[in-house]
Chains A and B, each alone.
Chain A
Amino acid sequence: SQQGEEDPQALSIQEGENATMNCSYKTSINNLQWYRQNSGRGLVHLILIRSNEREKHSGRLRVTLDTSKKSSSLLITASRAADTASYFCAPMTTDSWGKLQFGAGTQVVVTP
């Protein structure tokens, strides 16, 4: 596995707005996963996108993957106060499915 770098480090938006965060990585991947961590809790798996996919949706989440740029984005549409959390990406290489290495994450604050 390798560590992804999330950008921006922090994001503050109003309820109803969209939130977009990006993830960059360095070497070829098998898939890329996004996780959410609410304050003081464990991580929750949000979505997995495989290297042969360009876009994936799950509810209000939309993830894109551009392997040529080695980057991914996570879009949360119509954000809610409950979306306040830190978001982490985890690029996975073919040689080690399980090991996750996390960057600093994007801390999202959604204000009612």
Chain B
Amino acid sequence: GAVVSQHPSWVICKSGTSVKIECRSLDFQATTMFWYRQFPKQSLMLMATSNEGSKATYEQGVEKDKFLINHASLTLSTLTVTSAHPEDSSFYICSAERYNQPQHFGDGTRLSIL
């Protein structure tokens, strides 16, 4: 079945650091990739939608300069949390979609900012 790999799975870093999270579709070409954030005991909130070769579309309230998304190929999207602060600590999850098929999710990245 379709596999989406997300890396790293866990990051702890100091406040002010920028953190890059990678999302790869391993056995299919994804037309679109999505980034979600999930706070403890809450649901996933969509942050942005990205298509290969074009700028990401951010949801309302998500700062595009804070959360940089690069979608360089049909199998790789990256999310960079710039100058991360403790309030950015969360569980970040990506998903990848083939045209008109259900999304496949990565296993998430737990980000802890000290």
Whether both chains belong to one complex is answered with: yes
By a beta-carbon cutoff of 8 Å, the part of chain A in contact with chain B is 33, 35, 40-45, 48, 88, 97-105
For B51, give the chain A residue with the smallest CB separation.
A98
Q: Are B43 and A41 in contact (CB under 8 A)?
A: no
By a beta-carbon cutoff of 8 Å, the part of chain B in contact with chain A is 4, 6, 32, 34, 42-46, 49, 91, 93, 95, 97, 100, 102-108, 110
How far, in angstroms, from A44 to B103 measured CA to CA in the complex?
A: 9
Q: Are B105 and A42 in contact (CB under 8 A)?
A: yes
In the assembled complex, which residues on chain B have CB atoms less than 8 Å from the CB atom of A48?
102
How far, in angstroms, from A28 to B54 measured CA to CA in the complex?
A: 30
Q: Are B43 and A98 in contact (CB under 8 A)?
A: no
Q: Are A40 and B110 in contact (CB under 8 A)?
A: yes
Q: Are A103 and B43 in contact (CB under 8 A)?
A: yes
> A98-B34, A99-B49 given as contacts; is B105 within 8 A of A43 (CB)?
yes
